[in-house]
Amino acid sequence: AAGKRKRGALPPGKGKRARNDPGAAETAPAGAPQEYSIPPPVSQGKWKNKERVLIFSSRGINFRTRHLMQDLRTLMPHSKADTKMDRKDQLFVINEVCEMKNCNKCIFFEAKKKQDLYMWLSNTPQGPSAKFLVQNVHTLAELKMTGNCLRGSRPLLSFDPIFDKEPHYALLKELFIQIFSTPQYHPKSQPFVDHVFTFSVTDERIWFRNYQIIEEDASLVEIGPRFVLNLIKIFQGSFGGPTLYENPHYQSPNTHRRLIRLSVAAKFREKQHVKEVQKMKKKGTKVLVKEDPTEVVFETPAEEKPVEIQLVKPESKARVKDKKKPRKIQRKKQKKLFRTEA
């Protein structure tokens, strides 16, 4: 009986030969197939960039903000979720929450007055951090786009050329890169690149769009979500600290709504003033126009008739009696007599 061999052991006289050994092809027999070295798959690489992003919100957000937050979590496999934060808590508490969740980046949605939405992007706990006003939010379910990218795939980040010209935009670009880019070899990510995050600057605002790459010639189709970020301030610390930049073009939602109300009130006051002026014109005395002496040039005087005074009373007209009336009375009398006799 043949003796038992250990697992992985080779018979004597035969040793392992590396696939990349140049002598392997020479010593192999002529009829044997040639062997090629295959690199390991991308998913088996080493995960070095341990970026983790905490995405959560305060209490009081509406359904659209909740769906937007869920869409960002879906697009970013390196993100984590947490329960809603109470409004009474201070913002620097978020640094402790990120430390407990083992996250070094944070996206925090802050709702005010149940209609205004603010977004904080922060590098915890050292900083910097930026505060934005979120406008024109459209979620994945609301857009109903035709694109459909792979869940957990890595995105390309496309930036407007103005991000390299202004210093505050350059700082925001680095913050966007560290937050929205999926780390390579992340366990929850896929080794594919099939969609693009675009950040473009128009009208002093940052427009975020998400496109899918559908063909090899880089033709794009929008997937969503989409929103507009209006920069308010950039702080040196995380959720506070000295102000590095303040947007001079920013207008708060309260000021915007107040200006709209004032414009409507001004239009109403103008209409009322016009009505009062019209009433005053109607009540005012009319200006008499001086008589023009040339108006009576072509008037011809009418012939004056002599006045006749009637001294004699006019004769009265003869009344014509109704001849049929006596006959009617006679017939009525005959009818009465006939009834009494009956």
Local confidence pLDDT in tens for the 342 residues of the chain: 444 444 444 445 444 444 444 444 444 455 556 676 655 555 467 887 788 999 999 988 889 999 999 999 998 988 999 988 888 888 889 999 999 999 999 999 999 988 899 999 999 888 899 999 999 999 888 877 666 778 888 889 999 999 999 999 999 999 999 999 888 888 888 878 888 999 999 999 999 999 988 877 778 888 888 999 999 999 999 988 899 999 999 999 899 999 999 999 999 999 999 999 988 888 876 667 778 888 888 888 778 788 888 888 888 877 666 666 677 788 888 888 877 776
Per-residue burial over 120-153, b = 16 or more CB atoms within 10 Å of its CB, e = otherwise: bbbbbbebbbbbbbbeebbbbeebebebebeebb
pLDDT at residue 291, rounded to an integer: 82
Structure tokens at 195: 């969609």
pLDDT at residue 259, rounded to an integer: 92
Scan for tokens 């992003």, then name that residue: 53
pLDDT at residue 333, rounded to an integer: 82
Scan for tokens 């102000």, then name that residue: 243
pLDDT at residue 19, rounded to an integer: 47
CATH architecture of 53-255: 3-Layer(aba) Sandwich (3.40)
CA atoms of 227 and 210, how far apart (whole Å): 10
CA atoms of 21 and 19, how far apart (whole Å): 6
Other residues' Cβ atoms within 10 Å of the Cβ of residue 285? 5
Other residues' Cβ atoms within 10 Å of the Cβ of residue 212? 21
pLDDT at residue 41, rounded to an integer: 55
pLDDT at residue 330, rounded to an integer: 81
- The beta strand positions in 203-310, using DSSP E, are 205-213, 220-222, 226-237, 240-246
pLDDT at residue 307, rounded to an integer: 81
pTM above 0.95? no
Of 185, 180, 183, which Cα lies nearest the Cα of 196?
Answer: 180
